[in-house]
Each structure stands twice: as structure tokens, then as C-alpha cells.
Amino acid sequence: MINRILDFIRPNKFSDTGQEVQELMKTIDKQRLPRHIAIIMDGNGRWAQKQGLPRAFGHRAGVESLRDIIKLCCELKIQILTVYAFSTENWKRPREEINVLMDLLVEYLKKEIQELCKNGVRINPIGRLGELPRPALDALSAAVKLSSDNNGLILNLALNYGGRTEIIDAIRAIATDVETGRLKAGQINNDTVAAHLYTAGQPDPDLLIRPSGDFRISNFLLWQLAYTEFWLTSTLWPDFRRIHLLRAMVDFQRRERRFGGLKDE
């Protein structure tokens, strides 16, 4: 609370932030941007609870963060953004919270689809979508249809998504190919598995961001994150804005990715 009050009375807070954003924009090497960014949008509940508000307020506030991040990704011409919105384990939460999340998804898609299309965003939901409630499925199908011809940012919306479930689904499909004689077991390699994941045809994430101070994957993109660079922050998702993503990108560009090999001389 005290931080929030300070934020309001600090006279040049917004220009400071604006200046840092501008500086970071200049610092970033536009030729070496991550092609694929993945984000675990976590910390909504804690954000609300910190202010004595019900968790639902945190989920609603988190939508603002997503909006800002998508906009920046479009401005920088990032190819793919994958956001973790609802996991296969999130069904363990109270029914009311699940309803809030599903309602918010429908509201978001209906309200934002025009703006998303204007920015060239293509909506690509990933997960066991058939298990989502009917209204969510309908809103998703409509958004996918409306945005299918766009050729800007691909927005992978991970919904009822689990990394293990994704791998199980891939194994089942591959096993069927083997059973029906289309494939020999000995031919299965990295490419075979990747081609049967929900992200088939997409490059693996270069950068994974997890806000809110937890240091775990929580069943996200287990296969795809093999050589992804992680960027963790204690900032809660509803407070996460483009400035944080820019900081993450600058940090990403300073890293040396070796993929198990040796440093380039």
C-alpha cells in the first residue's frame, strides 16, 4: 500500500519509466530479438490479496498486463508469444475462481479481437481445448477464425494446458502411426516428437519469463524449454509491463547460448 501511495506522490514516476523504456528500446539489438517468448502469467491472486481484494481482481488486472505485452511484441515484430493462462492442474481451484477465469477469457476475446486483428495477431489456443466450457470454446473458435489470416504475432494461448498432457497426446499420436505401419519405432527422433506437440512447426521459446517470485516450471512447455533462457522476477503479473519485458530482452541479449557446445571464438 505504502508503495502505491509513494508511486502516486513521486512527481516524475511516469516520465522516469518512460525514459527507461526509451533507453531500453534504444539498447536492444533489433536483429537479435527472441523469436519466441513464453510467459507464465503468475501472481494475480497474491497481487489482489496484498491489497485486501478478492483474487478475481488480480485476474482482471492481469489482463491489462497481457494487453501491454502483446502490444510491445507487435511493435517489435516478435514472431511468437506463448502465454500460460490456465493449466491442467488449475481445475483444482474453487469452482468460483475457475468460473471467473473462464468468464474473463470470453470477455477478453470478445472485447479485444478487433484490436488484436488490427495489430495482425493470430490467436492459436494450445492445450486440451475440448475439455473447456462451451462458452470459452465458442469464443476461442470465433477468435481463431477471425484472426486466421493475420500474419503478425502468433499468440499461443495455453488453456487447459499441461506439458505432460501435451507429451502424452504426442506419444498417443506417434504410437498410432506406429500401430498403423506409417512409422517405425526406430525412426522416432526429436523432429517426430516436436511435430506432434501443440506447437508443431514453431521454434522453441528463446526466452521464458516467470513473474511473481516462484522458481518453477509448473508443467509448462516441458519439451520445448530444453535450451530456453529463463528470466525470473518477483514483480507480480498484474504489475508486469513492457518495461519488464524490455529488461528481460536486454538481459537475454547479454547471455551466451551454447546449446551444449562451446563458446563461439
Indicate if 90 belongs to the active site. yes
Indicate if 191 belongs to the active site. no
Please report, as residue ranges, which positions from 37 to 66 form the binding site for Mg ion (by CB under 5 A). 42
**Nearest distance, CB of residue 54 and Mg ion, angstroms:** 15
In one letter, which amino acid is 9?
I
**Nearest distance, CB of residue 85 and ligand IPE, angstroms:** 5
Residue of minimal Cβ distance to Mg ion: 42
Catalytic residue among 3, 7, 12, 42, which?
42
Cell of 35: 523469436
**Nearest distance, CB of residue 226 and ligand IPE, angstroms:** 19
Distance (Å, whole) CA 151 – CA 172: 31
CA proximity to 129, closest of 165, 99, 80? 165
Catalytic residue among 3, 7, 68, 90, which?
90
**Of the listed pieces 23-31, 34-42, 148-156, 167-175, which binds Mg ion according to CB under 5 A?**
34-42
CA proximity to 144, closest of 171, 121, 173, 176? 121
> Which CB, 46 or 241, lies closer to ligand IPE?
46
Q: What does 101 bind: ligand IPE, Mg ion, none (CB cut-off 5 to 8 Å by kind)? A: ligand IPE
> Which CB, 72 or 83, lies closer to ligand IPE?
83
Do the beta carbons of residue 98 and residue 105 sit within 8 Å? no
CA proximity to 160, closest of 87, 228, 100? 87
Looking at residue 232, what DSSP letter applies?
E
Measured in whole angstroms, the distance separating CA 151 from the mean position of its chain's CA atoms is 18
Task: List contacts with Mg ion (CB under 5 A).
Answer: 42
